[in-house]
Structure 1
Amino acid sequence: MAPLKLAIVGGGPSAFYVASRLLSLLPESSSRASQLKIHMYDRLWAPYGLVRYGVAPDHPEVKNCTHKFAEAAADPRLRFFGNVNVGIPAPITHTLPLSLEALFPHYTHVLFSTGCTVPVLHSALPPSQFCVPALSLVHWYTQHPSRPTPPPLERISHVTLVGQGNVSLDVARMLLTPPSVLAKYDVPKPVLEVLERSNVQHVSILGRRGPFQAAFTTKELREMMNLPDASMVPLDPAYLTVPEGSPKLTRQQSRTLQLLQKGSNNKPGTTKKTWSLDFFRSPTGLTTPNAAGDKARLSLGHTMLDPNNRAVPTGETSTLETDLIITSLGHHAEPSAPWYDPSLNHLRTLSGRVVDAGGRIVRNVYASGWAATGARGVLVSTMMDAYAVADTILRDHFPEEDVHTTPISESDAGAGSGQDTPAAEAIEVLPKHVEADTFPPEVEAGLREGRVTDFDDWNAVDAEEVRRGEAMGKERERMVWEEAREFLASARPRND
């Protein structure tokens, strides 16, 4: 049996979960261990994707999975190449561009774990200085390498969030939590400085449906209720009753209702900062101000639920004056990605295997996580999907051998579920035999030049970020790319 040499495009949770599963199912003590090589490519210079650049800084417990990822990276059969942009136009200027044509000849298998990196925009709210996607705020406060412009919070008193998912509540919480509280977390110093100048007094969080359909979790809602220096504007009592004839509430819906009925810890009128959940409101347009200092006017259509729980207009309208609108409506995969399906908004797959537009399996090419399923689910569901895709890769490569351990149920596995190779025509884009330790010469040159990072580089940066953070009494103090490259050049000089 030929060796399995896998390139993983993406360095986030799904990528690491797949790599970890493969390495654990073919442990170094096994007879097949030497037949497995994994090279991971990420356009970000640091690993872990959304765990580093998407998780709210005040949720450090969510980042505990990185311990497992670091264990996988310690296996010599896995190599990480950061700051390498594979196969799509580079959204980050300092990355090393690498075409699929340059990547494919070096690998027998390829996995796309590229996530969903493009925000869904609202049709009535084109991006402008008055309207930005939530991803811009998240990337700002996590110092993502795309380096979005900091929001002018010193000139903003009212913020409107469109969408009632967890990301909306993350952004609202970051804007309303005192910087002195955030200072102990993984919030970069330049971000804290902007937050300290903030004049935000109120955050409106809009949703086109009601409290029982809101996408946020009770944990996120409870955190909003417990904000130390802000209070929730009381809800219309009509929202706090269950309509007659409605189906029995789920456990989460019941807990949400209890929290909303109780209200925030700080009673209305006792705090300078406030926030509101504005249900049954859908933006229909935006009038930008004519003069500096004036507020924008957000036109809202009032909605109600039809028998299928869809939001439909009532015919009533209202206007909300605001300084900044932040849309948080989900994400989709990069449309220029290979095998992207515009009808799905992610890659076209069957049981984790990539499928072309003609319905043919692209042999030995796979996708996992949001790249394959769309932007849904949490880390646990991402892990289960990744494990199932890893199992599929091994089943395809070692069809006659039992190299599997814990089975993954199809209900948990998502895109990776399915036990057998689908009976479909296949196309070949990868070689069957490759050299075990080679990788594209462009990447090799990038390593020598300090433009491409490896996991040893990350370990050095990680330790330094933690050291700097401890000196400041916080979790870590992050580096941006320019700082990291300078630090690595001085700490680990490279020989040309």
Structure 2
Amino acid sequence: MNQFSFHFCKLCKELGGIHAAREFVWWYNGHPDCRNLAPDLTSTDTAVILGQGNVALDVARILLRPTMELAKTDIASHALAALEESSIRKVYLIGRRGPVQAACTAKELREVLGIKDISIQVKQADLVTTPADEVVMKNNRIRRRVYDLILKAASSGHSPPLPDQRELHLVFFRKPDRFLESKDRSGHVAGVLLEETTLQGDDLGKQIAVGNGVFEEISCGLVLKSIGFKSVAIDGLPFDHDKGIVPNVGGRVLADSSTDFPQYETGLYVCGWLKRGPTGIIGTNLYCAEETVASLSEDIERGVLTSNSAKPGRGGLLQLLDRRNIRVLQFHDWERIDTEEKRGGNLKNKPREKLATWEELLQVASK
């Protein structure tokens, strides 16, 4: 990279070509709020994804998977059309820690590593484990499986890549320092400056990534940020700002988490990321919700939850939404949407053709 072709820019919102991975996922899944995201996939052959969680892997999979295969899925048509014209051939997945600490799960990693005809590139030095890493893998089967998959992919990958072969680079022990702006294309990202990291921690496997002052640049024209999510506090509820969760035991909200004997907020329960942090997949959320409901049911049976006054329930909720002029779609409205999307998909030999604007969705729901 010619150091005179770029200048540093820390304010990513000022540069084109940088998007939240969440918005990119909504774009190719047909979410109406991101229908017009229009990521530029034709002006560069390289995309950098910051993060190595399941969302980051899903984004990489979409960018690298042959569009002939994507056409058979329920991907939004506007996204498929853009991907068919895509010039992206190299995707870098950047992680601030090592392969043992990668935040993805084995199933999602296996899917992206299994894409046909791609070259998997991993630096051999990044695969060396420490005693702390071994402790993590001994106590966590998911982390062991993820590491073994990466190790296997690295040993079987092509080096160097074959001509015209798409490339997936798994980059570890790097953290973004700043974005680089192109002078040839003012206002657009042209690269990412990364700082090397080392892990510091104890023998129990608790390790954090610390920059060591050594930097390198990756040229790219597309950056997707997938570096985590943190819940925000809700007025009136206790909140652990370090963990980004409402303190709880089994979904029961704790009034005071500093004592050895839990004191609960009667009638308050929590589930999802606000309960456990941004981890897991759909199955994890199902288990999480079941645990909270089980706690609630147990409290009802034990008489912990009592009320001397009738609650408005569903009717009260509908009245509140009506006062706020919020339109409510019933289940039968959704069924109309579902039927129409499946009908459209059947015409194109795909599971469904998604309605990707609010106007289309509401029009079909009102039929």
Q: TM-score, normalised by structure 2?
A: 0.80
Aligned: 1:139 with 2:26: yes
Of residues 324, 337, 345 in structure 2, which corresponds to 1:469?
Answer: 345
Q: Distance in 2 between matches of 1:273 and 1:358?
A: 50
Aligned: 1:346 with 2:245: yes
Q: Secondary structure of the residue that 2:42 maps to in structure 1?
A: helix
Q: Distance in 1 between matches of 2:225 and 2:235?
A: 24
Equivalent in the alignment of 1:275: 168
Deviation at 1:265, TM superposition (A): 7.9
Deviation at 1:375, TM superposition (A): 1.0
Deviation at 1:174, TM superposition (A): 0.4
Equivalent in the alignment of 2:98: 210
Structure 1 residues 398 and 164, CA gap change in structure 2 (3 angstroms)? same
Task: Answer whether contact 2:41 2:222 (CA < 8 A) is retained.
Answer: no
Q: Distance in 1 between matches of 2:175 and 2:76?
A: 34
Equivalent in the alignment of 2:52: 164
Q: Secondary structure of the residue that 1:302 maps to in structure 2?
A: strand
CA-to-aligned-CA distance 1:421-446 (integer Å, 9 cap, x gap): 6xxxx9x9x98313566234253589
Structure 1 residues 266 and 482, CA gap change in structure 2 (3 angstroms)? farther
Range 333-342 or range 310-319, more displaced: 333-342
Equivalent in the alignment of 2:78: 190
Deviation at 1:247, TM superposition (A): 2.8
Written as runs of structure 1 = structure 2, the 5 A alignment for 1:312-327 is 312-327=210-225
Deviation at 1:353, TM superposition (A): 3.1
Task: Answer whether contact 2:40 2:222 (CA < 8 A) is retained.
Answer: no
Q: Distance in 2 between matches of 1:267 and 1:474?
A: 36
Deviation at 1:349, TM superposition (A): 3.8
Structure 1 residues 266 and 187, CA gap change in structure 2 (3 angstroms)? farther
Range 242-251 or range 296-305, more displaced: 242-251
Of residues 230, 240, 259 in structure 2, which corresponds to 1:332?
Answer: 230
Q: Secondary structure of the residue that 1:305 maps to in structure 2?
A: strand
Structure 1 residues 450 and 389, CA gap change in structure 2 (3 angstroms)? closer
Range 137-146 or range 183-192, more displaced: 137-146
Q: Secondary structure of the residue that 2:345 maps to in structure 1?
A: helix
Amino acid at match of 2:245: H
Q: Distance in 1 between matches of 2:130 and 2:78?
A: 48
Range 350-359 or range 148-157, more displaced: 350-359
Structure 1 residues 262 and 434, CA gap change in structure 2 (3 angstroms)? same
Structure 1 residues 253 and 137, CA gap change in structure 2 (3 angstroms)? closer
Structure 1 residues 240 and 431, CA gap change in structure 2 (3 angstroms)? same
Amino acid at match of 1:432: S
Deviation at 1:241, TM superposition (A): 4.3
Structure 1 residues 215 and 125, CA gap change in structure 2 (3 angstroms)? farther
Q: Distance in 2 between matches of 1:335 and 1:290?
A: 41
Aligned: 1:459 with 2:335: yes
Equivalent in the alignment of 2:365: 488
Equivalent in the alignment of 1:441: 319
Task: Answer whether contact 2:48 2:222 (CA < 8 A) is retained.
Answer: yes
Equivalent in the alignment of 1:296: 190
Q: Secondary structure of the residue that 1:451 maps to in structure 2?
A: coil
CA-to-aligned-CA distance 1:186-215 (integer Å, 9 cap, x gap): 101111111112111211111112222222
Equivalent in the alignment of 2:293: 390
Deviation at 1:335, TM superposition (A): 4.8
Give the paired residue count: 339
Written as runs of structure 1 = structure 2, the 5 A alignment for 1:230-309 is 230-233=118-121, 235-242=122-129, 247=134, 249-250=137-138, 251-253=144-146, 255-264=148-157, 268-292=161-185, 296-308=190-202, 309=207
Q: Secondary structure of the residue that 1:154 maps to in structure 2?
A: coil
Q: TM-score, normalised by structure 1?
A: 0.61
Task: Answer whether contact 2:105 2:146 (CA < 8 A) is retained.
Answer: no
Amino acid at match of 2:342: V
Which one has the bigger helix percentage? Answer: 2
Amino acid at match of 1:475: P
Task: Answer whether contact 1:167 1:328 (CA < 8 A) is retained.
Answer: yes
Deviation at 1:466, TM superposition (A): 1.2
Deviation at 1:365, TM superposition (A): 2.9
Equivalent in the alignment of 1:222: 110
Amino acid at match of 1:156: T
CA-to-aligned-CA distance 1:332-362 (integer Å, 9 cap, x gap): 2255676373444233445423456999854
Task: Answer whether contact 1:231 1:270 (CA < 8 A) is retained.
Answer: no
Identity of aligned residues (%): 27
Q: Secondary structure of the residue that 2:31 maps to in structure 1?
A: coil
Q: Secondary structure of the residue that 2:198 maps to in structure 1?
A: strand
Range 129-138 or range 168-177, more displaced: 129-138
Q: Secondary structure of the residue that 1:306 maps to in structure 2?
A: strand
Provide the alpha-carbon RMSD of the alignment: 3.3
